[in-house]
Amino acid sequence: MTSGTDVMNDKPTTSGTAKRPRRQAQASVLYDAPGPQARLRYNVYTFLTILGLLLVAWFVFVRMDEREQWEAEKWQPFFTSQLWTTYVLPGLGGTLGAAAVAAVLALAFGMVFGIARLSDHVWVRIPAAVVVEFFRAIPLLIMIFFLMRGSWSLFGTSISTFWAVVLGLMFYNGSVLAEIVRAGIQSIPRGQSEAALSIGLRKGAVTRLILLPQAITAMLPAIIAQLVVLLKDTALGYVIGYSDLLNQWRNLSSAYINLIPAAIVIALIYIALNVALGYLATWLERRNQRSVRSQTKAVTGPAEVGVSAAGPTAGGGAAGPRA
């Protein structure tokens, strides 16, 4: 005969079919799960946006004699391999190459200067703050142009367009990421660093081994959002002639005289890249959550198993066999 409590699992049991809890909406890594009213507002905003875009398209392409841009012959070049191998794929490679190198350098720049801004030494903290605020204040377009043209005036040689774009993206986005890293480290409870210092770790080891990994995990949505901005900012290399998607769009539209179809295709490629980056962020967040849950089970598992195996006790004594 069984009682209302499971001896091995120490959980109450109920007769009949147990009701399963209602599944909650999972929050994305980039935003919290919206409620019913928020979803309704989003649907209304989406409908109004689509309606506005349709009105703009009707006014521009019908009322302004741009209807020939929608003819079938303007879209036919996109079904040939020559267009993709000559214009689109080289531009995509230039965009991804500059974004990948700039993202790695910007993350390293942000970590170094974000930690430096929290240093106890004034001679480290103040110069780091000056560097971060300086590069955050300069518009990225001016920075790219200066790196391309100013290097010749200062050093007698001009750097390539690739490195002008990469360095400009690194300085600007790295300064923003430095503030994100600094805010993430400061958001961690002070007790963790105090506990690490009490067992003999130095402050550098505490920051590198304990605070920085948690800060990056906590600030992952902001970091991914900034990397999306970095990817789109590669288009500013257009002003110095860097061969990216935007520059190839100009060449493509001039070669085939299909300005509107080329703009739509290039815009869809940018959207696909940003959506893929968002899915990557969601995958990393879920992977991190699974890792944390597995570590928690590994730590608490043996204790729970021991308690459940001993069974419920009466009056603090050991549980004996049932009659």
How would you class 95 by CB atoms within 10 Å of its CB: exposed for 0-12, middle for 13-18, buried for 19 or more? buried
pLDDT at res. 6: 45
Closest residue by Cα to residue 186 from 214, 227, 205: 214
Half-sphere exposure of 200 (CA within 13 A, CB side): 0
pLDDT at res. 300: 61
Burial 148-172 (b: 16+ CB within 10 A, else e): beebeeeeeeeeebbbbbbbbbbbb
Closest residue by Cα to residue 259 from 79, 70, 105, 76: 70
Lowest pLDDT segment from 24-28, 59-63, 237-241, 287-291: 24-28
Give the pLDDT band of residue 174 (cuts 50, 70, 90): very high
> Could you tell me the end-to-end alpha-carbon distance of the chain, in angstroms, rounded to an integer?
11
> Is the torsion defined by CA of 202, 205, 209, 210 positive or negative?
positive
Q: Is the pLDDT of residue 241 over 80?
A: yes
pLDDT at res. 4: 46
- The arithmetic mean of pLDDT across residues 247-263, rounded, is 83
pLDDT at res. 314: 44
Angle value at C-alpha 7, between 4 and 8, nearest 5 degrees? 135
What are the tens digits of pLDDT across the range 48-77?
888 887 777 666 655 555 566 667 777 888
Q: Is the pLDDT of residue 21 over 50?
A: no
What are the tens digits of pLDDT across the range 87-137?
889 989 999 999 999 999 999 999 999 889 888 888 988 999 999 999 998
Distance CA(98)–CA(140), nearest Å, equals: 15
- The arithmetic mean of pLDDT across residues 131-158, rounded, is 81
pLDDT at res. 293: 66
What are the tens digits of pLDDT across the range 31-53?
566 778 877 887 888 888 888 87
Tokens 């900012």, located at residue: 233
What is the rounded average pLDDT for all residues in the chain? 77
3-state secondary structure of 12: strand
Distance CA(12)–CA(23), nearest Å, equals: 22
Give the pLDDT band of residue 15 (cuts 50, 70, 90): very low
3-state secondary structure of 159: coil
pLDDT at res. 128: 92
pLDDT at res. 156: 64
**Amino acid sitting at position 80:** T
Read out DSSP for 55-114? HHHHHHHTTTS-GGGGSHHHHGGGGSHHHIIIIIHHHHHHHHHHHHHHHHHHHHHHHHHH
Q: Is the pLDDT of residue 238 over 80?
A: yes
3-state secondary structure of 273: helix
Lowest pLDDT segment from 21-35, 109-123, 251-265: 21-35
Tokens 């560097």, located at residue: 131
pTM of structure = 0.68
pLDDT at res. 221: 78
pLDDT at res. 25: 46
Q: Is the pLDDT of residue 162 over 60?
A: yes
pLDDT at res. 9: 47
Distance CA(299)–CA(289), nearest Å, equals: 15
Query: Across 166-175, 296-305, 314-323, which has the greatest mean pLDDT?
Result: 166-175
- The arithmetic mean of pLDDT across residues 180-203, rounded, is 83
pLDDT at res. 83: 85
Give alpha helix (H) positions in the chain: 36-61, 72-75, 81-83, 89-116, 122-137, 140-155, 161-187, 190-198, 203-206, 212-218, 220-233, 245-256, 259-310
